[in-house]
Structure 1
């Protein structure tokens, strides 16, 4: 039996409070203050590997290479970006989870890190046990994009069309369980609509088919659809954020349109469990300077990525919230890996 739609909507489409205690925040601050003491140790004395669990060219790869020079300069050693794609990001993530906990191997994780556990009956690592949060890097609001032929100017008008013709309108995704799939499910829960899901092998082909007119909508970040958006091949119908984006102020938020839905994609660094706390603190303390480096604001703004440098405690709470949120979506909607 499925639970009441209103209860499901209330729990899944509204972001939860972090629930961080004052003690946890003070503890995180204390760890950051302890970072200077690490300067007397010999870490790092060789290159640091930053594993991206996706193929080159995607948003995670782009962001990793944006922070690579600044992070290396801040830590005094080279940072080497290594792409280890496969198994829906699990291959690269497992490689980091099984690496020595010495601070020389880091993972650039993103939202799918919190989604994958909901889809897999068995995993080669435990997302809450085998890796630990270090620092958040950035976040980007998710949007609904439509083809120009769609007779709707915004998300609210599209929802009205979809309610009138259940199952008629389509949305593409990067595959079953991908973030773009989950956003489509959230939209249906929030609006009481029924769309037809069309999964692809990656988000790129879905965006291309939307631009070609073979789909009605997709739910992705600006970074994933920037060329098609700027060329007018697709248009933004709404952004799942609390305020409009500076880079695209013409796209209204969902809440402006009467749809109570906020969701964002995030990226952050994780390390193998057991990595020394002073090492974690030093990396976390370096990130604000990395994100505030020369030219970084313009580069991040072009991708509609909001720089973040939340430390281990708040970043860890964000991961736990999303594991719960998307786990409930997968269970309630019957989504499993294929």
Structure 2
């Protein structure tokens, strides 16, 4: 309640131009309806509108090019607060992947957008079938080291976030596995359950039903803490692998937004995420709340861009 009051106060103290800009907001989701980003956006929209004193927040899906189309639409919009982007991990991987393919780099997230707030994250989980012989990631990697070419790890496709995380795991552990790309997650899950591949990396939202059904086990969590939903699953750091990585979501605007507008939106976003209607749903979506304002979010974007650029260059990844 205290956070929500601060958001409303911030809105009430804003200049008339700021207040007018916040009456109607388009929240662009750069993916098709029905996915994780779309679900989060539609959960967030009414709470954000309420935190802004009754603004109308409309979710608009602008899918294509791995989220690049929607991101560029926001980047080129007017900096008046009426068009915002619900960005996620591909926002910081696209520059490196486009450069690797010899294409023009469309943007740098920390420079060509106005970061407003990082709002949610889902730590990466390493999953194996229930009957897999390894108790943790360390044992799986030991098997890969002893028998090169025998451990296949699935991703949702070449140059996807899960592919990049597999490459990062190899770099941090010094152990090579065989990357097997799929066109989406469904087929990868089926092949993991049938034993065609031995492991995959996913977020909690995908893993939770399979783990609850006794079909899969989590043998590693790429977080700096154990998850309350998976108290028996060790972190990778506990296993001697210095790897913390998560799928994340944040709200950004076009470049050049005025500071009062950014501050008002950032405060309202944190109030919306803290509201009962949103916070009570986050665990069921496999999400943890982030509370990064404009400057820390910009720093995170810069660090994530550099991290994934190094991974793409070192692993020699090229998009299809």
TM-score, L = length of structure 2 = 0.90
Matched ranges for 1:249-268 at <5 A: 249-268=231-250
Aligned counterpart, 2:158: 176
The 1-side partners of 2:68 and 2:207 are apart by 24
The 2-side partners of 1:107 and 1:292 are apart by 20
1:24-71 Cα offsets, whole Å, 9 max, x none, are: xxxxxxxxx976531544423642111111122222112111211100
Aligned counterpart, 2:73: 95
Alignment partner of 1:165 out of 147, 155, 160: 147
Number of equivalent positions: 307
Backbone CA RMSD of aligned residues: 2.0
Distance 1:102 1:44, change over 3 A: closer
The answer as to 2:20 corresponding to 1:38 is no
Distance 1:207 1:47, change over 3 A: farther
The answer as to 2:44 corresponding to 1:67 is yes
Distance 1:69 1:82, change over 3 A: same
Measure how far apart 1:295 and its partner are: 4.0
Measure how far apart 1:209 and its partner are: 3.1
The 2-side partners of 1:174 and 1:164 are apart by 26
The answer as to 2:109 corresponding to 1:127 is yes
Matched ranges for 1:279-294 at <5 A: 279-294=261-276
The 2-side partners of 1:247 and 1:148 are apart by 17
The 1-side partners of 2:301 and 2:110 are apart by 9
Alignment partner of 1:321 out of 292, 296, 303: 303
Please say if residues 122 and 247 of structure 2, whose CA atoms lie closer than 8 Å, have aligned partners that are also in contact: yes
Matched ranges for 1:10-89 at <5 A: 36-38=12-14, 40-41=16-17, 42-44=19-21, 46-75=23-52, 76-89=54-67
Distance 1:53 1:234, change over 3 A: same
1:132-165 Cα offsets, whole Å, 9 max, x none, are: 1011111121110012232212111111111111
The 2-side partners of 1:130 and 1:205 are apart by 36
The 1-side partners of 2:80 and 2:146 are apart by 57
Aligned counterpart, 2:92: 114
TM-score, L = length of structure 1 = 0.85
The 2-side partners of 1:165 and 1:158 are apart by 11
The 1-side partners of 2:311 and 2:319 are apart by 13
Please say if residues 24 and 56 of structure 2, whose CA atoms lie closer than 8 Å, have aligned partners that are also in contact: yes
1:171-202 Cα offsets, whole Å, 9 max, x none, are: 11122221111111111122221111111223
Distance 1:209 1:51, change over 3 A: farther
Matched ranges for 1:150-299 at <5 A: 150-299=132-281
Please say if residues 10 and 267 of structure 2, whose CA atoms lie closer than 8 Å, have aligned partners that are also in contact: no
SS at structure 1 position matched to 2:220: strand
Please say if residues 35 and 285 of structure 1, whose CA atoms lie closer than 8 Å, have aligned partners that are also in contact: no
Distance 1:211 1:68, change over 3 A: farther
